[in-house]
Every structure is written in C-alpha cells, then in structure tokens.
Homo-oligomer: A and B are copies of this chain.
Amino acid sequence: MPSQSQHSEFELIARYFTPSPPGPDAGVALGVGDDCTLLVPAAGRQLAVSVDTSVAGIHYPEDAPADAVGHRALAVSLSDLAAMGARARWCLMALTLAEADEAWLEGFSRGFRALAEASGAALVGGDVTRGATAIGVTVMGEVAPGAALTRHGGRPGDLVAVTGALGGGAGGLALWQRGERAPSHPLLVRYLRPQPRLAAGEALVGLASAAIDVSDGLLADLGHILERSGVGATLAPEALPLAEGLVAALGEEGARQAALTGGDDYELLVTIPGERVDEASARLAALGLPLTVIGRLEAEPGLRGVEDQGQGGWQHFHGRSSPGGSL
C-alpha cells in the first residue's frame, strides 16, 4: 500500500527523471506530462526501434556504480541502433526500483542523461514503478530507406571486421569480481561504460554488407550474421584486437577466450566487400576508431579457424549474464 513516504520517494524520482524540455531540433511536438509523447519523425526516413532490459544482479553487478548502471542501461539499447547504422533520436525509460535511494538516483540519472545527450537520443518519456530493480530502455532512431545495416546482407568473399577492441566486457567483469575498483582501469571502463558505436554505424552505411553489435560474444554474434546471410566463415583468431590490459588481467588464453566469447563489448562486427575496406577504415580512423579484419565469409556453411569453443568459455564469461535475448 503506498504510504506518504513512498509518494515522496517517487516525487524524488520524478525530480531526477523528468526530462528537460527538448530543444527545437529534437523532433518533439509534445513532451512529457501527458498520456503520450508526440514525436515528429523526419520525412522519408525509416524508424529503427529496439528495447532492452537490464536487471540488477543479472546484467550488471548489484554494487556497480549508479552512474555506470544508468549509462550502461542506455548504451546497450543504443548499440542496437548503431548496429543498424541508424541515427539516435529518442529514448524512453521504464524504471522499476526496489527502493529509492537519493544518492543512487542522482548517479543513475547523471549517467543516463550524459549518454543520452552525447548520443543525441532525447529522453522523451518513461515510467517509474516499484518492484525488483530493472531498467527497460526503448530507443528510436532514423535511417534512410534501404540504408540500414542488417544481419542478412553478408556475401561469400566479404571480409569480416570489427571496430575497436574485444574482450573488455568480460575482462572488466572478471576484474570487478576480483575486487578491482579503480574507476579509470581501462577494462573497468570498457565493462561499466561501454560506448555505443553510433557514429561508426552511420559511417559504415553504404560500405558494410552486414552488421551486428557484439553483445553475446563475437562467435555467437558472428553466428547470427552467418545464419541470416546463409554463409559460412573462416576466422583468424590471432588477428583479434584485444582490449587494453586484457592479457595482463586474464593471461593469453583467457584473453583470447574473452575476445571470442565474452560478450558485452558493444563493438560493431561487420562484413564488408574487400574493395571497400580502405574507405571504411579511413572513415572510422576519422572517428578515432580502428577497424580490424579478422576473417572472411565463404559459401560453405559453418565457422572455421577456431577450435571447438565448447560451452566452457561461454559459461565462464557469461556467469553474470541472463539467458534470453531479443525477439
């Protein structure tokens, strides 16, 4: 039964989460405070939409810094827009909270808002309710018709490439579980504050033949592209770009496993015709982001070049992740 103190708590939440009035370019005809928000889609664009839920103790450690929880809950959804080459426009947050702790809320809100602002995704609405802590984030972006990067466009002969570096998600979690708390440790930054590759996704439109973000692990996510594109691939595991500090933290074998199967990296995994790789690399270099070729698509189904990964590595690095996934 709602008590007065609970009402006050939710007034507190409203204070932290009532979005600022959006700017004139935000495409918002009617902001929060009504039954719905009214948005103005750009003429002639398609709308890319996705939703992801982050559950405390399953998708992130219960003791993770509040601002990292806010950042991360939005980042994992924005990463889906990046993987489509869409431009982020709006987001909605469905926040379920076990308790309303002001310091936590302040941090959570700060992390969420900072990324929303940096990514151009205006927070246009949401819902706050009581229950086991979970954050559902719906993101909406725009992309020109026919321009979206999908999972099904890979063709035999295309190269397989990845942005940035891999293994940081799993490496950072492993360090966190060992008690590492230095906020600037590069692996903790990777795990707690992943950067959705929105600019890279837009830059790869017209060049990449297929794309996905690395959330479940490189092998699993590449598997989605192979399945949807009806192709196979050979990988060169020695070419994998490893996150800074990963070998020091996990050793050679652990680092390789983390990069192949660890997940939570939120880099973009793309396939790209060989003649376009230089242009793609140049565009990403302008964003300060490396693009590394790690394999090649082939007509023959299946994945070659990596020994059987079994489930051991996967479970090792996914002990904190939920089973489940997107529809």
Contacts and interface: CB of A to CB of B under 8 A. Distances in A.
Given A47-B40, A138-B51, A130 B324 contact: yes
A51 B125 contact: yes
Interface in A23-45: 29-30, 32-41, 43-44
Contacts of A2: 315, 318, 321-323
B96 A53 contact: yes
Contacts of A326: 32, 35, 125-128
Nearest to A143: B38
Interface in A47-76: 47-53, 55, 58-59
Contacts of A131: 53, 55, 58, 132, 134, 322
Nearest to A47: B39
Contact of A141 (B36, B124, B136): B36
A116 to B, nearest CB: 13
Contacts of A33: 151, 228
B50 A130 contact: no
Interface in A131-162: 131-132, 134, 136, 138, 140-141, 143, 145, 148, 150-152
Given A53-B136, A130-B58, A327 B19 contact: yes
Interface stretch (A5-13, A167-175, A252-260): A5-13
Interface of A: 1-2, 6-7, 9-10, 13-14, 17-19, 29-30, 32-41, 43-44, 46-53, 55, 58-59, 79-81, 83-84, 86, 90, 92-94, 96, 123-132, 134, 136, 138, 140-141, 143, 145, 148, 150-152, 211-213, 228, 315, 318-319, 321-327
